[in-house]
Amino acid sequence: MSNIIKSNTKGSLIVISGPSGSGKDSICERLKEYKDNFWLSISCTTRKPREGEEHGINYYFMSKEEFEAGIENNEFLEYASYNGKYYGTPKSKVNEYLNKGIDVILVIEVQGALKIKKTIKEAIFIFIMPPTMRELIKRLKKRGTETNSKIIERFKKAYKEINEITKYNYVVVNDELDKATKKVCAIIDAQKCSVDRIEEVYLNNPEEEIHELLIDDKKFENNEINL
């Protein structure tokens, strides 16, 4: 029977962070194989597109002036400055999807995640960790897209980000992409069963005579209740 509990049907807001090279983007990409009914938010940024990146698919690329106008008009759920560039989550689409019962995933850095933690209590915060710091630097080097000094900069930033790990609800070590993705999926599923989502519990459904047992237990012995 499924009508004993009425739970909140809004989508869950899932915030995923982790240092560069932790594999958080790959996990979200792989999540499509394990989970439906979710939307991966597209952020706005003032950084330049990298090779292969497309406006409206990877990010909404915009000028500093456009971004600052967005801040002024309160268009961002959160925003942060990272490596001298702005990054922000547009508010409108997020709310639209959550209200439709669709889960929304934000892959954002730590400062932005902590801002959301202050304002949206029910959001789920997941931190993705590399298996070791040696593996992290190996992954950054393997990408081959950045200079050695940029790699070191990202490596140092990783230490700072990992310092904030206890402010998250869950940590997933990404030693194997598939395993880590399944764990993220399990966390999201588990949260759907959280008692925090309960709106009402119907123990005494008036259409059922079963609650009469609470007043008169003889009815059970006498087989007077139709089970």
| Site for ligand 5GP, rule CB under 6 A | 43, 47, 78, 80, 82, 87-89, 107-109, 112
Q: How far is the CB of 32 from ligand 5GP (least distance, A)?
A: 18
Q: Which is nearer to ligand 5GP, 70 or 112 (CB)?
A: 112
Q: How far is the CB of 79 from ligand 5GP (least distance, A)?
A: 6
User: What order do you get walking across the sheet with 13-17 strand by strand?
Assistant: 38-40, 103-107, 13-17, 124-129, 170-173
Among residues 43, 25, 28, which one has the least CA distance to residue 91? 43
Here the tokens at position 204 are 């005494």
Q: How far is the CB of 205 from ligand 5GP (least distance, A)?
A: 45
Q: How far is the CB of 138 from ligand 5GP (least distance, A)?
A: 18
Q: Which is nearer to ligand 5GP, 90 or 131 (CB)?
A: 90
Angle between helices 24-34 and 177-192 (to 10 degrees): 70
What 3 state SS string does 128-174 have?
EECCCHHHHHHHHHHHCCCCHHHHHHHHHHHHHHHCCHHHCCEEEEC
Q: Which is nearer to ligand 5GP, 8 or 111 (CB)?
A: 111
- Bridge partners of 173? 129
Q: How far is the CB of 85 from ligand 5GP (least distance, A)?
A: 7
Q: Which is nearer to ligand 5GP, 15 or 188 (CB)?
A: 15
Q: How many Å apart are CA 227 and CA 222, to the nearest integer?
A: 12
Residue 54, classed as helix, strand or coil, is coil
Q: Which is nearer to ligand 5GP, 48 or 121 (CB)?
A: 48
Which residue is closest to ligand 5GP by CB? 112
